[in-house]
Homo-oligomer: A and B are copies of this chain.
């Protein structure tokens, strides 16, 4: 399956595309960051993010989209812009009928590094190893987007295995 991971943000929106399935090496297809200028009105910035994400979806045609879940308890001053960008990401994917999963930062950290409190550097290092890259993707938003996509392949795969096992158990009854 091909997954587009999106780390939403108004200034830098990380995007990463990963191909793979559970138990096989994953492949990075593309990675990048959609940037918008802080000197533009918020509406224009959100519109740029919408256009950028649409272009990524059209170019890579993912089977699913994984978006980082944003929490209100974060006391960052950028939280409103992040929430708005995540809303745009969800709508762009939903408009195409794509499955959308939300993963929390700790779920992503735990999935790629085994530690829900891993640092940015640790996540970057694990993404580099998992995707067999030469160096960690920069900026961190790009690495986070790939980590989201990896998490989604692995969690999706786990869920698929559970469903298959339940189905097999059903057949054996």
Q: Which residues of A contact B (CB under 8 A)?
A: 41-44, 46-47, 50, 70-72, 75, 77, 79-80, 83-88, 90-91, 93-95, 100, 102
- A91's partner among B72, B77, B88, B93 (CB-CB below 8 A) is B88
9 closest A-B pairs by CB: A84-B87, A83-B83, A43-B90, A43-B94, A47-B94, A87-B87, A43-B100, A46-B91, A72-B79
This protein's copies in its complex:
2
With a cutoff of 8 Å between Cβ atoms, the chain B residues found around residue A83 in the complex are 79-80, 83-84, 87
State the majority secondary structure of interface residues on A: helix
A159 → chain B, closest Cβ, in Å? 16
With a cutoff of 8 Å between Cβ atoms, the chain B residues found around residue A102 in the complex are 42
Q: A41-B100, A47-B94 are in contact. List 19 more A-B contacts (CB 8 A).
A: A42-B90, A43-B90, A43-B91, A43-B93, A43-B100, A44-B94, A46-B90, A46-B91, A47-B90, A47-B91, A50-B95, A70-B80, A71-B80, A72-B72, A84-B86, A84-B87, A84-B90, A87-B87, A88-B88
With a cutoff of 8 Å between Cβ atoms, the chain B residues found around residue A95 in the complex are 47, 50
CA–CA, A20 and B50, complex, Å = 33
A108 → chain B, closest Cβ, in Å? 18
CA–CA, A102 and B42, complex, Å = 10
| Contacts A/B (CB < 8 Å), 11 sampled | A43-B90, A43-B93, A44-B94, A47-B91, A47-B94, A50-B95, A83-B83, A83-B87, A84-B84, A88-B88, A88-B91
CA–CA, A77 and B71, complex, Å = 10
With a cutoff of 8 Å between Cβ atoms, the chain B residues found around residue A84 in the complex are 83-84, 86-87, 90
